[in-house]
Amino acid sequence: MTTNAIAGVYETVVYADDVVAMKDFYADVLGLRLVDGPDDLSAAFRLPDGGVLLVFDPARAGLPGRPVPSHGTVGPGHVAFRVTAGLDGWEDVFSRHRVPIERDMTWPGGGRSLYVRDPAGNSVELTADEIWPD
């Protein structure tokens, strides 16, 4: 395993019945770079660190007999993003786009997270800090 280990997460997925409607949030509000779609099935956004955020319609991605294994969830998921600077600028971004901040969290260790919801109701967190044990 040490010679062939996992290096990191490549694809992170959130689900939405209306994939196209997610583009406005992830591209225009969060500023992610759209590299595929959006179409009825999916959209792909490339992150600066090389990772990919995927949005899938669970009804279509969950159909049997697709070229790739089926998957698809119902209910609000969660994803957290690293931001390159503090969170103050993001309060302005969310205000400008009329995205309500659901929670402004200060962690016991001193870190801070802002939480909003994407158009499908997924919980989206932004932080510049380290929250989990190393």
CA dihedral 40, 42, 44, 22 (to 10 degrees): 60
Sign of CA dihedral 106, 124, 74, 45: negative
Burial class (CB in 10 A: 0-12, 13-18, 19+), 39: exposed
Nearer to its own copies, 40 or 105 (CB): 105
According to CB under 8 A, which one of 20, 27, 41, 44 is a site residue for its own copies? Answer: 44
Per CB under 8 A, 98 contacts its own copies: no
According to CB under 8 A, which one of 16, 22, 30, 99 is a site residue for its own copies? Answer: 30
Burial class (CB in 10 A: 0-12, 13-18, 19+), 12: middle
Residues 49-78 that bind its own copies (CB under 8 A): 49-54, 56, 58, 61-62, 67-78
Which residues of this chain interact with its own copies, rule CB under 8 A?
1, 3-13, 15, 30-32, 35-36, 44, 46-54, 56, 58, 61-62, 67-86, 89-90, 93, 102-103, 105, 113, 115, 117, 122-123, 125-127, 131-134
